[in-house]
């Protein structure tokens, strides 16, 4: 298998960095139901307009969202729905990890109870 090029690795890293913030993930999930203007996004995710606009700029630069202007309003939409497949994969991984931890805790608790009798 050939090693990945530095350019490809950088592009992957940039895309993941674009997602790597709780506010940006909230914005992405808000847009999952369809296009919304900035005011609608603000209502759903909270925060200041400046902060949400900054995060929308990062999402746009990384190719995760796109926008259009209609009069004085700017509407954002998901540009790359693969972002949700990435989120599902991470959630699945977290569930497996937590499940394994729970099994270890339960086994440890059972061993402690046997030793306490």
Q: What is the mean pLDDT of residues 39-64?
A: 96
Nearest to 86 by CA among 8, 29, 1, 2: 29
Separation between Cα atoms, residue 75 and residue 67, nearest integer Å: 5
- Residue 50: its pLDDT value, please? 95
- Residue 48: its pLDDT value, please? 94
Domain boundaries, the chain: 6-80, 81-117
Contact 73, 38 (CB under 8 A): yes
Q: Is the pLDDT of residue 2 over 80?
A: no
Separation between Cα atoms, residue 89 and residue 13, nearest integer Å: 17
Q: Is the pLDDT of residue 110 over 90?
A: no
Q: Please give the sequence-ordered ranges of beta strands (E in DSSP) within the chain, or none if there are none.
A: 36-37, 65-70, 73-78
Separation between Cα atoms, residue 17 and residue 59, nearest integer Å: 10
CATH number of this structure's domain 6-80: 1.10.10.10
């Amino acid at each position: 298998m050939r090693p990945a090029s530095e350019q490809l690795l950088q592009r992957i890293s940039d895309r993941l960095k674009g997602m790597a913030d709780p506010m940006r993930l909230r914005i992405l999930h808000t847009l999952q139901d369809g296009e919304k203007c900035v005011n609608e996004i603000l209502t759903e995710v909270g925060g200041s307009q400046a902060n949400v606009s900054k995060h929308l700029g990062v999402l746009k630069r990384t190719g995760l969202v796109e926008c259009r202007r209609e009069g004085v309003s700017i509407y954002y939409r998901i540009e790359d729905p693969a972002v949700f497949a990435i989120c599902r994969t991470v959630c699945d991984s977290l569930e497996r990890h937590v499940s394994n931890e729970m099994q270890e805790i339960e086994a440890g608790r059972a061993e402690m109870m046997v030793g306490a009798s």
